[in-house]
Structure 1
């Protein structure tokens, strides 16, 4: 392993050496693991996921509630199998996610279908396997669901996704509950749907759904949204429209930045649900995604080199924006630490990847113990929207994924081969006229 010279590089501070303690994860020695699996790779703690599941189940005791994991957060089959074995269902937004959930052993009757762009083929496929419920987001979608269900001679169960016009106080690109967002319909429009519900003879419109955004760190937006849904539920019941299911969505935030992010506790979150929906005798659905898996995942990466600059030093990693897009897409913060317990002087770096984009930056002016080529780093809280948003940009193969559990590990997706990456490509030989 290369070492730094005795000269103090630009950006190094005079702060005292700081020890680190990130060498193990779920009982697995990460240095040894990185000798067996080429970096970069994602590692997930099964124990951490189980702990989150049990914490939420404990908070929900006494409620008729079904937890449906938001597959988009982490669609790996092994992760979905873990969820299925714990009794969770799935919240899906595509037929691909439906197939993953079913392949992982999640029963169709515990699957809900969300999303604004469900195609007719996707609706037909979901009806064909008998999913629990559709969260409907437009009148056109409702008419499409009616038409396809009639053709299949089945009755689809559906909930209206309400847009409560509540600011979730989160990043604009993951806010979904404001009136200008593309998701859901106004309460006024939903009221008209229920007034006409008997004309939809193959759709049982008996549910409400709300989801105001992701990475929410304050319980108040949840309270506001739930209060508006609760008032509408009571209005509908009074008007003779029975509501048998209320889907409260997801959105619980996690700690991406230690000492700065303070997530809402499951106790406070579920207390807000209990208070707002007191007296509701139907089933509650919850759609956690990020909260269950984000902090259970890390991205292991090695330093390729340290590049001194005139104004800053660059720490160049073998991981890139195609392995973890969130910092480039959202300017998202992820804590980054060396996998080492050796004290080192502190230094300041721009931490970047090798992709040919200035946006391929994980952190700017980030202070951490001085690094050298070959050092192993850990990017934290990457278990959600890491691999699910990955790409092969710059013809970089998809990274491996590893599941850890009490000192053991299992590869749950091997690193993509080049031949797999180009498998669907072919020369233009068979020309045709449309």
Structure 2
């Protein structure tokens, strides 16, 4: 059974009607399926375990996609590691039960304090993205009497054919070090007293539905690994990043994990390199939805609007990327279908979750904004002094509140009036 199905005329999460979730917890609310989350991670483990080059591989969930403690804990219990990009995410994953030796620290702007926290925690590896960052880490590791394990995030200049805002491996990206500069930077790293070169890292972008750019990037990375070996610099692991896409709409073809990984593993067979992966969206995207209620139907001169209680502050992707999310009625009804722009109450023209969607609806109806488990709640804000939504986990017939809805009082609790 898929995570979200129509049963007896009502959309369900596993065995729980979404109407029941709305009655118990209100709207808007993020709703996740435990079985979908665990199955998504297990698919990676199954493919890796079936291939000789996958032995000892480490799957590090990209925390930026969804940082709820319950979800992080669920993945930690399945043996996952974590890809973090801030000191806050480090504290989150440790609070969720992460093994520090399964944490990789990515990101272009690591502060000195974040480096100290990660070194003291004993993380698996720092993914280094510039010379100044490498030098800073060397200095801080020396102050602490430690050696910092590092890989360099090498920018292979491969076009991932995705949205430009989530394309990270081209020459113009702020991420990584230029491919042509990588050899010299590895030489520099190998000569630093408080740095231990352990790996090489590459991440070319997000929401990739064609696996071929991954293969092209790996070919370039392995050529560099061979150059390093010739100079006596041994690489112990190769971090292939994340980016494998999900199906957001009916006309998209979602590649299987096997179709993505097996060609990469074939190239790594016999090299003795530990494989590290950083999937994010692929593990959580289709395991969650945003549940919302229609407040008003408004007929405009050129468009019809379904005004809902969720908004761009709850789900930023459509406004930020013009991203598509399927929007479906929780309880489909017969009647006349009209095209609606599905919009929220935030005071911005860009506050829409979908445009020109054919719907048969009435005020008060519930809608499910699908494929919202990644970069939904994680990017939510309090714009217009709107409390962030509740988060709910469905496990078979059980329903768990995994994040309470914020109150308005909580939003300004830390603010002070002038004397």
Shifted more, 345-354 versus 377-386: the winner is 345-354
**Residue-by-residue CA offset, 1:358-378 (whole Å, 9 max, x unaligned):** 00011111112x111100000
* Equivalence for 2:58: 66
| Cα separation, 1, equivalents of 2:403 and 2:187 | 49
The answer for the alignment partner of 1:114 in structure 2 is: 106
Q: Quick one: which of 315, 331, 335 aligns to 2:306?
A: 315
Structure 2 segments unaligned to the other structure (5+ residues): 1-6
Q: In the comparison of the two structures, how many residue pairs are matched?
A: 409
**Which is further off, 267-276 or 161-170?**
267-276
SS of the residue 2:177 aligns to: coil
The residue that corresponds to 1:344 in the other structure is 335
CA deviation after TM superposition for structure 1 residue 425, in Å = 0.7
Tell me how far 1:285 sits from its aligned partner.
0.5
More displaced 10-residue stretch of structure 1: 174-183 or 262-271: 262-271
8 Å contact from structure 1 (residues 43, 401) kept in 2: yes
Higher RCO structure (Cα 8 Å, ≥6 apart): 1
- 1:329-383 residue CA offsets vs partner (Å, 9 max, x unmatched): 0000000000014433321111101100000011111112x11110000000000
In the TM superposition, what is the alpha-carbon distance from 1:314 to its structure 2 partner? 0.5
283-292 vs 229-238, which moves further: 229-238
Give the corresponding residue for 2:369.
379
In the alignment, which of 42, 66, 70 is matched to residue 30 of structure 2?
Answer: 42
1:283 match: 274
- 1:171-224 Cα distance to aligned partner (Å, 9 max, x none): 010110000000001122110022233421110012100000100010111111
Q: What is the aligned-residue RMSD (CA, Å)?
A: 1.3
What is the distance in 1 between the residues matched to 2:10 and 2:229? 53
1:125 to 98, 117, 122: 117
SS at match of 2:138: helix
Q: Please say if residues 20 and 342 of structure 1, whose CA atoms lie closer than 8 Å, have aligned partners that are also in contact.
A: no
| Equivalent in the alignment of 1:398 | 388
Is 1:335 aligned to residue 301 of structure 2? Answer: no
Q: Would you identify which runs of 4 or more consecutive aligned residues in structure 1 move more than 4 Å?
A: 19-22
Q: Find the residue that maps to 2:384 and give its secondary structure.
A: helix
Q: How far off is 1:20 after superposition?
A: 10
Partner of 2:263: 272
Distance in 2 (alpha carbons) for counterparts of 1:127 and 1:273: 31
Question: CA–CA distance in 2 between the matches of 1:332 and 1:428?
Answer: 42
**Structure 1 residue aligned with 2:20:** 32
Distance (Å, rounded) in 2 between the aligned partners of 1:21 and 1:142? 58
* Distance in 1, Cα, partners of 2:9 & 2:23: 19
Equivalent pair of 1:302/1:375 in contact (CA under 8 Å): yes
State how far apart, in whole Å, the 2-side matches of 1:344 and 1:254 are: 32
Task: Specify the alignment match of 1:424 in structure 2.
Answer: 414
